């Protein structure tokens, strides 16, 4: 795999790299994270996890459909969210539509997020709803979380958890 990293798999930025709030979009493929000029993954790359900042400070993480999410990809996505959050707690919109599965390690990464002020999970099917509950079953008491079938409704709900820093 090629690596154009925003964050290394161990959740640290590479030596000499700084988190740039202007880096508002990242694509994470396998154990790579890149901030490309376009949102297209590199040729030969697997399905990417997309991370970008929406208007209002919400960070959207889009998991690839028909894929099982592993810990390494989740750690990189988490590091990217933290870089975009720039030390603040922000609402996270997690799109899980069509995801085949989530590893225990990936679940732990999402459930133990220190950057999230709230989670809105978006899916379309009953399977997506089950995966959403699996992802957050240990975190629902400390971080507000809700499942939606509409990204617009999810973003609207997350609006109450944005801050004007």
Tens-binned pLDDT, residue by residue, of the chain (165 aa): 122 233 434 444 434 334 433 334 454 444 434 433 333 333 334 567 899 999 889 999 999 999 999 989 999 999 999 999 999 999 999 999 999 999 999 888 887 788 899 999 999 999 999 999 888 775 546 789 999 999 999 999 999 998 755
For 43, which DSSP code?
Answer: T
Helix (H) or strand (E) holding 80: helix 71-85
Read off φ and ψ for residue 96, nearest 5 degrees.
-120, 15
DSSP state of 87: T
Q: How far apart are CA 72 and CA 66, in angstroms?
A: 17
| Domains of the chain, each with CATH number or no CATH | 25-161 (3.30.750.24)
Give residue 141's pLDDT. Answer: 62
Q: pLDDT tens digits, residue range 22-52?
A: 334 454 444 434 433 333 333 334 567 899 9
Q: What is the pLDDT of residue 142?
A: 76
The pLDDT of residue 108: 86
57: number of Cβ within 10 Å? 19
Contact residues for 27 (Cβ-Cβ < 8 A; gap 6+): 33, 34, 35, 36, 39, 41, 48, 49, 50, 51
């Amino acid at each position: 795999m090629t690596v154009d990293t925003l964050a290394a798999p161990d959740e640290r930025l590479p030596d000499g790299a700084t988190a740039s709030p202007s880096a508002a979009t990242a694509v994470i493929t396998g154990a790579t994270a890149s901030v490309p000029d376009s949102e297209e993954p590199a040729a030969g790359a697997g399905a990417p996890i997309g991370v970008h900042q929406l208007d209002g400070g919400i960070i959207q993480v889009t998991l690839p459909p028909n894929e099982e999410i592993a810990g390494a990809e989740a750690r990189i996505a988490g590091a990217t969210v933290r870089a975009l959050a720039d030390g603040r707690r922000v609402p996270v919109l997690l799109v899980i539509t069509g995801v085949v599965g989530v590893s225990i390690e990936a679940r732990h990464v999402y459930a133990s997020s220190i950057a999230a002020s709230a989670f809105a999970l978006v899916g379309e099917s009953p399977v997506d709803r089950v995966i959403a509950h699996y992802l957050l079953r240990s975190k629902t008491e400390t971080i507000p979380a809700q499942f939606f079938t509409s990204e617009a409704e999810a973003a609207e709900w997350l609006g109450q958890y944005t801050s004007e820093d």
